[in-house]
Amino acid sequence: MTGLLAHDALLVSFVVIFFGLIAVPVAVRTGRRDWMMLAYSAVYTNFLLVTVAVGSMLYALVTHDFSVSYVAQVGSRATPLFYTVISLWGALEGSILFWAWVLGIYAAASVWVNRRREGNLIPYAVVVLLLISLFFAILLVGPADPFKAVFPVLPDGPGPNPLLQNHILMAVHPPLLYLGYVGYSVPFAFAIGGVLSRDIERDDWIRLARRWTLIAWAFHSAAIIAGMWWSYEVLGWGGYWAWDPVENASFMPWLVATAFLHSVIVQERRGMLRLWNLNLIVGTFVLTILGTFLTRSGIISSVHAFTTGTIGYYFLAFIAVVLFGSLMVVAGNSDRLRTTGRYDAVASRETVFLLNNLFLTAFMFTVLIGTLFPLAAEAARGVKVSVGVPFFNRMTLPMIVSLLFLMGVGPALPWKSSTRAEIKDKLLVPAIGAFVLLVVALAAGMRSVYGSLAFAFVGYAAMANLREYWIGMRARRAAHGEGWGTALVRLINGNRRRYGGYVAHLGIFLVALGIAGSQSFRTEREATLKPGETMILDGRTIKLKELWGRQEPQRAVIGATFDITINGKSRGTAEPRMNFYPTSQTPIPTPDVKSSILGDLYFNLQSIREDGSAATIKVIHEPLVPWIWFGGLVVVCGALIAMFPGGRVRETLTADLPR
Amino acid sequence: MNQRSWVAICFAMALLVAAPLGAQSVADSILEARTTAVAAELRCPVCQGLSIQDSPSELSQEMRGMVRDQLRAGKTPAEVKAFFVSKYGEWILLTPTAQGFNLLLYILPFVLLLAGAVVIIVVVRRWTHTAEPVSLPPTDSP
């Protein structure tokens, strides 16, 4: 029943999309407002229809309707309700449905917000959004149909992938990732729409594209951090990033979107880089589709890869269409995308933005080459090779530390040109910060070159960014006699984009310190203990108190309880577990992490002796890891500050209020 | 800090200083460091992209043991890696050997980086030398 309803909804959405695609050219040619409204309604109706399909799927999942193919694939009566609901995005077909729904939300929201805007930009953007929606509608009735009728109907199903029902972060990471990934469709639509509408000279599209990129980017950043956290909390190896193909697939568009968020400033301020920015937006969008292709087609194996099928060909065709179409649009209009601004001097903020873009795009290409190389090697030599952590670390660390350094130079250098005295003052003073953090790192026992550089450059860049706040606040205090708190709030409000950007920078510094610290200062020990025995790691005495087991409805759990003591004082207990699911041959590790502001103590139960007399445990001391999660939060806060419009207007309003 | 914890710290410091005196433990820690370095370069055959150093799987624990034994028996890290390549194929190495076709993997990123740098230099030179009058946007947002 629910399957039929959803199928009908999806089929109707085809008609609606075609209708919208016809309405736009009519509206543009005749200038009739009613046809325009019709085209916009197509976007809203499509969203409602996909919502019906998603609602049907949730209903089918919750009511355990095993006549629906997707439910038969991921559902089980024993799975708790919460994990049943989130299994909506746990496998291929459901994730495509969820994708289509998020796209529907974005398309409807972006059109609704801009529905009164004059000119042809929005109508053309509607065409692009509808075409992307059409692609997903085709997937949903074709290779990724989640509503296929199953016969005979079985009484129960296998339940979701054990890895996906083992931790609450699975409810957070995938939706955030889709909200980020799919969100880049909107700036792509505005960019192509902007070029097609022939008002590209007005640079109107760039403001819209920037706003929506920032929204997607905030979700995407949060998603990457949440994914790292999930990997850390669930996979049991004590790491958060393995340069796995799926991680790379999610990281590449982030790098290009980050490059765009910076170079867009140059276009707005100086009228340069128009063509380049267009390329960055198209590149971000194509990379999201390419990433989906890599992970959904089964062409590259990975922890998170979905099942294989014919769906890969559809994605390949779609990538080809998007690339070819964008190329035609951009190339056909390149004469109108010329630079109108002028470059004054090399020692200027413009140059730093160019270098930022150079390193971010080179970073992306390095990750892309590393990810695709096994395919190339197999095609060219017929030999399977691996490209893993050591390669990516070796190649990208120089770029990462360069970018950290640039984050200190960029905010300090003025636009256009700078005097020798300015450069001296702005670039030399933050060296104090570099020196302080470097000394701290070396005193703490840092021995790696890149770790030391990361600490030093973070110190440098953090001081440069904080100094911008300090200079601005001091000026406000002098001019308006404000207190420090008021000055800070008004400073940020006066130019949210700029100071929001600096907040995001601070978040990145925290993430960088967390990664550098945990990679450099990590110590670990593995031991096989019987109850009552102890091991020592970094001055912490870890005693195995007991081993235990229990049966839960959907799984069996074996756990170990450890007492942690430092200098004879109790520091709590840890309970790492192993969860055994009927669908998985190997146990799913469930490490226990004891966090403090300076770092984590990570417990993973490696194995347990069959008679239950002893357990092998790995304990890892990982300094600064919580800073990564906190830094991610700060990055998102920075993006939120930069996202909201206003600024100057608000400032004059509040300035007139009685204090 | 009370007196007892000071005593504990002094005791710990004394242990730290005294520990290296046992030559056995020095040899052990060197062997452990070498094992870690080699294990980080070998892929866990039953995981996805994790090294046998990071992987918690039982096979990885066994393989780490083999690496340790071979290093203790006097093999060089290169010989240990070669042993695993002969057993599993080139795939077992997390970093492809830098020779032949694989060189592309190492060179291409730098070629692209250099090409980008050259483009920037050329473009900036051209831009700084065109002296046409410009109208800058009056605002002074970011």
Q: Which residue of A has its CA nearest to B47?
A: A303
Alpha-carbon distance of A370 to A363, in angstroms, equals 11
CA distance A403 to chain B (A): 14
Assess whether the previous peptide bond of A152 is cis (omega < 30° from 0): yes
Chain A residues within an 8 Å CB radius of B142: 265, 268-269, 495, 497-498, 501
- Segment A216-249, tens digit of pLDDT: 999 999 999 999 999 999 888 889 999 988 899 9
The DSSP secondary-structure symbol of A44 reads H
Nearest CB neighbour to A384, from listed B49, B90, B95: B90
Nearest CB neighbour to A386, from listed B54, B94, B142: B94
- Segment A438-448, tens digit of pLDDT: 999 999 988 88
**pLDDT class of A180 with cuts at 50, 70, 90:** very high
Looking at per-residue confidence, does B15 or A262 come out higher?
A: A262
Residues 6+ apart with CB under 8 A from B82: none
Cβ of B141 within 8 Å of Cβ of A377? The answer is no
CB A579, CB A590: distance < 8 Å: yes
**Interface test mutation site (partner B, options A240, A352, A386, A650, max chain B beta carbons within 10 A):** A386
Where are the domains positioned within chain A? 1-166, 429-521+628-656, 523-623
- Segment A64-120, tens digit of pLDDT: 999 999 999 899 898 889 999 999 988 889 999 999 999 999 999 999 999 988 888
Chain A residues within an 8 Å CB radius of B48: 244, 301-303
pLDDT of residue A124: 92
CA A380, A381, A382: angle at the middle one, nearest 5? 105
Looking at per-residue confidence, does A313 or A17 come out higher?
A: A17
Residue B132 has pLDDT above 60, yes or no: no
Amino acid, single-letter form, for residue B142: P
CA separation (Å) from A251 to A123, A365, A368, A532? Answer: 31, 11, 10, 45
Chain A residues within an 8 Å CB radius of B58: 606-607
- Segment A217-226, tens digit of pLDDT: 999 999 999 9
Q: What is the mean pLDDT of chain B?
A: 79
| B7 shares contact with chain A (CB less than 8 Å) | no
Size of chain B in residues: 142
Q: What is the mean pLDDT of chain A?
A: 89
- How large is the average pLDDT for residues A397-424? 88
- How large is the average pLDDT for residues A32-57? 94
Chain A residues within an 8 Å CB radius of B6: none
Q: Which residue of B has its CA nearest to A398?
A: B110
Residue B138 backbone dihedrals phi, psi, to 5 degrees = -70, -25
Residue A417 has pLDDT above 60, yes or no: yes
**pLDDT class of A655 with cuts at 50, 70, 90:** very low
Give the HSE-up count for residue B67: Cα atoms under 13 Å, Cβ half-sphere: 29
Chain A residues within an 8 Å CB radius of B68: none
CB A76, CB A159: distance < 8 Å: yes
- Segment A276-331, tens digit of pLDDT: 999 999 999 999 999 888 887 666 665 455 555 678 889 989 999 999 999 998 88
- Segment A495-543, tens digit of pLDDT: 888 999 999 999 999 999 999 999 999 988 888 999 999 999 988 999 9
Nearest CB neighbour to A606, from listed B56, B93, B100: B56
CA distance B99 to chain A (A): 12
- Segment A339-396, tens digit of pLDDT: 777 777 787 888 899 999 999 999 999 999 999 998 888 888 888 889 999 999 999 9
pLDDT of residue A654: 37
CB A555, CB A584: distance < 8 Å: no
- Segment B41-97, tens digit of pLDDT: 999 888 777 899 888 888 888 999 999 999 999 999 999 999 999 999 998 999 998
- Segment A182-205, tens digit of pLDDT: 999 999 999 999 888 876 556 678
CB A234, CB A166: distance < 8 Å: yes
The reported pTM is 0.90
pLDDT of residue A639: 95
Nearest CB neighbour to A302, from listed B49, B92, B113: B49
CB A75, CB A87: distance < 8 Å: yes
pLDDT of residue A542: 93
Chain B residues within an 8 Å CB radius of A242: 49-50, 54
CA distance B95 to chain A (A): 5
Cβ of B109 within 8 Å of Cβ of A384? The answer is no
**Interface test mutation site (partner A, options B28, B42, B62, B127, max chain A beta carbons within 10 A):** B127
Residue A651 has pLDDT above 50, yes or no: no
Chain B residues within an 8 Å CB radius of A361: 116
In B37-96, the residues whose Cβ lies within 8 Å of chain A are 40-41, 43, 47-51, 54-58, 61, 89-96
Residues 6+ apart with CB under 8 A from A272: A266, A339, A340, A341, A343, A350, B127
Residue B25 has pLDDT above 80, yes or no: no
Structure tokens at A221: 């950043």
pLDDT of residue A649: 39
DSSP reduced 3-state for A231: helix
The DSSP secondary-structure symbol of A545 reads E
CA distance A432 to chain B (A): 26
| B23 shares contact with chain A (CB less than 8 Å) | no
Nearest CB neighbour to B95, from listed A342, A388, A495: A388
**pLDDT class of B104 with cuts at 50, 70, 90:** very high
Q: Could you tell me if the ipTM is greater than 0.90?
A: no
Nearest CB neighbour to B141, from listed A271, A369, A497: A497
| B32 shares contact with chain A (CB less than 8 Å) | no
Cβ of A390 within 8 Å of Cβ of B5? The answer is no
Chain B residues within an 8 Å CB radius of A413: none
| B138 shares contact with chain A (CB less than 8 Å) | no
pLDDT of residue A659: 32
Alpha-carbon distance of B135 to A69, in angstroms, equals 62
pLDDT of residue A197: 83
Nearest CB neighbour to B128, from listed A343, A370, A381: A343
pLDDT of residue A9: 93
Alpha-carbon distance of A597 to A301, in angstroms, equals 36
Only one residue has tokens 């770790």, namely A451
Chain B residues within an 8 Å CB radius of A237: 50, 54-56
CB A17, CB A133: distance < 8 Å: yes
Cβ of B96 within 8 Å of Cβ of A386? The answer is yes
Chain B residues within an 8 Å CB radius of A271: 134, 136-137
pLDDT of residue A419: 80
- Give the percent of chain A with pLDDT over 90: 58
pLDDT of residue A17: 95
- Domain A523-623 coded CATH 2.60.40: no
Residue B24 has pLDDT above 90, yes or no: no
Q: How many residue pairs bridge chain A and chain B with CB atoms within 8 Å of each other?
A: 149
Cβ of A244 within 8 Å of Cβ of B48? The answer is yes
The rounded Cα A508 to chain-centroid distance in angstroms is 13
Nearest CB neighbour to B56, from listed A351, A501, A618: A618
**Run of H or E residues at B112:** helix B103-129
Cβ of B51 within 8 Å of Cβ of A388? The answer is yes
CA distance B67 to chain A (A): 16
Both ends of chain B: CA-CA distance in Å?
50
Nearest CB neighbour to A388, from listed B49, B58, B132: B49
CA B14, B16, B21: angle at the middle one, nearest 5? 95
Cβ of A268 within 8 Å of Cβ of B116? The answer is no
| B112 shares contact with chain A (CB less than 8 Å) | yes
| B1 shares contact with chain A (CB less than 8 Å) | no
Cβ of B61 within 8 Å of Cβ of A606? The answer is yes
Cβ of A303 within 8 Å of Cβ of B124? The answer is no
Nearest CB neighbour to B102, from listed A385, A388, A589: A385
pLDDT of residue A652: 36
Neighbour count for residue A561 (Cβ, 10 Å): 16
Cβ of A539 within 8 Å of Cβ of B94? The answer is no
